[in-house]
Structure 1
């Protein structure tokens, strides 16, 4: 995708929100925009994330990485809340629900990054905070060598802990969504959390082993997610995280 192509996408997006879709795909989104209070800014920000990927392959700090995660994934949460809707019984503020949706997008993207460290490195990209790598006594060369060491394990434990904190923050908003919308969001949250578990089970080898959730665990997770959607957070959600 070239910068000029992204510029065309952005103009097309603006036209769509102004009621001038280009084709049937645009018309589908235009219909959604007409029915729900969807804001154009997260869509523009996602395109900005694509621009960032064209020019940047390293992130000096977590603040920089957080912004990237917002652009490419946090925006999805902000796009989704107006369509999914907030429960009429919710006592939470609208802002807190949007913040939780943003946190889920960030958590999912951080999980993607931690799962794909080796694959991304082979493509010349390292989506890890450079200052935190340096403090851990690690460098890009260590990642490119792909050897799991005690330093790497310690570093990864900190990265996984942070991702889980974002998942915990996201949980607060799921229960506030309309009942019909909770199930898929709970399922996404639970399954992505289990990818972090799988990285740990692989002894933090995300260089040559791809962490994934097996089919059986997925099948078990879906009814648990459904139960959580009906009853709110419960100890049931811990079952598939063991």
Structure 2
């Protein structure tokens, strides 16, 4: 699934992107050589006490779950407030390099980037559509539709929310030939008031897919932007 035509226009690339407020920076560390493991990081400074924090996650793509022992964090409570979040992240990455280097991870390139969010008035729950050129032929075209499906109970910092991503595979006639419910639809997250798909990309083999999801957290310290990923392996 290397080259796909999106049903919308996107612009701007980069391994990291930032949102407003107490916002995390997302780092695409990349897929392992076999595409079965995905690594990413995020970092920033807390909104109230300006403590730097950093996190690195190792994901089993097929299971859509963290690899046991594959989550690494620099605690904001123990961090030096004089350094930046980027510095804290660099220190964490250096500290765990001996553990994650075995994956030989490389970030997604332009040929595997399928979607990048841009402000265009569309809702976070609008369907994203694209054609799979890599696996399509002159006689048989393959299309995908991606829809974020969230649900919320309560409001503000007391909200409990959950979501899943509906992935549908269609043929040229529009008939459904496969569906996937990506995520953990029964898992409720406290204080998460919104979700949005920021980025979609695949590995070089076209067998693995990553959805980068931006989530908005509200708690006693204010509003924060954080990232998570959902994954699927065909």
**Same topology, TM > 0.5:** no
Structure with higher helix content:
1
Q: Comparing both chains, which one has the higher relative contact order based on Cα–Cα distances under 8 Å and sequence gaps of 6 or more?
A: 2
Between Structure 1 and Structure 2, whose CA radius of gyration is higher? 1
TM range (shorter): under 0.3
